[in-house]
Amino acid sequence: EAQVTQNPRYLITVTGKKLTVTCSQNMNHEYMSWYRQDPGLGLRQIYYSMNVEVTDKGDVPEGYKVSRKEKRNFPLILESPSPNQTSLYFCASRPQGSYEQYFGPGTRLTVT
Amino acid sequence: ELKVEQNPLFLSMQEGKNYTIYCNYSTTSDRLYWYRQDPGKSLESLFVLLSNGAVKQEGRLMASLDTKARLSTLHITAAVHDLSATYFCAVERGATNKLIFGTGTLLAVQP
């Protein structure tokens, strides 16, 4: 089944403890993105990637890192999480030249 | 800076009625997307509009794009309860994969 998977789906952590949220797609898509969703703010793009080793900042990259070493994976790294990074995170992918974006199921992160 | 505004933020409507959600964006964009999100779920692609005057329809939803006015509309015809969800528009400039989302419109269709 064609899909975007994220792990974990739920995470409660403490301030300053490094964490990684994984994102994987099995559709051989070139484009991948990370978004955060907060009430009243909609979705805001954190980072995006147009292919392996090609990444760029979105609108809210502060406090996040990404890597794209393989086409299928696009992990989101929080080196030192803070409470203001408590949010619902979505990974998405789409093939180059196409406009339909496939979203993962979301990861709800709480930083205390 | 590209900004996207949606109106209204919340819409309560009765079944059978028609209504329109508006999406304004501040600078020239190449594509406009509409997504649906059910409570507690991920986002689902509805439409992508590529050019001025583009119109797409799926069931009771119709989306249109006016690039000169920098406005897209999502029209709901004869609403049914199953359409209750949050609807987002998003715009993209170039082939960048950089999307700017609106804040969303929470639609509640009452019987």
Backbone angles phi, psi at A83, to 5 degrees: -55, -30
Dist CA B53 CA B55 (whole Å): 6
- Report the residue of chain A nearest B99, measured CA to CA: A45
pLDDT of residue B30: 80
Query: What type of residue is A111?
Result: V
Query: What does the angle CA A94 – CA A29 – CA A52 come to, to the nearest 5 degrees?
Result: 115
Is beta strand A107-111 parallel, antiparallel or unpaired with respect to A10-13? parallel
Q: Which residue of A94, A96, A103 is in closest CB contact with B43?
A: A103
Question: Distance of CA B84 to CAs A94, A101, B14, B64, Å?
Answer: 26, 22, 11, 20
CB contact under 8 A, A43 and B45: no
Q: Is the model's pLDDT at B94 over the cut of 80?
A: no
Backbone angles phi, psi at A43, to 5 degrees: -100, 140
The predicted-structure confidence for A22-64, as pLDDT tens digits, reads as follows 999 999 999 999 999 998 889 999 999 999 999 999 999 999 9
If you average pLDDT over residues B4-28, what whole number do you get? 94
pLDDT of residue A38: 95
Q: Are the CB atoms for B3 and B26 separated by under 8 Å? A: yes
Is beta strand B61-66 parallel, antiparallel or unpaired with respect to B31-37? unpaired
- In 3-state terms chain B splits into helix, strand, coil percentages (rounded to 5) of 5, 55, 40
Of B1 and A106, more confident: A106
Surface of B (51-80) touching A: CB under 8 A: none
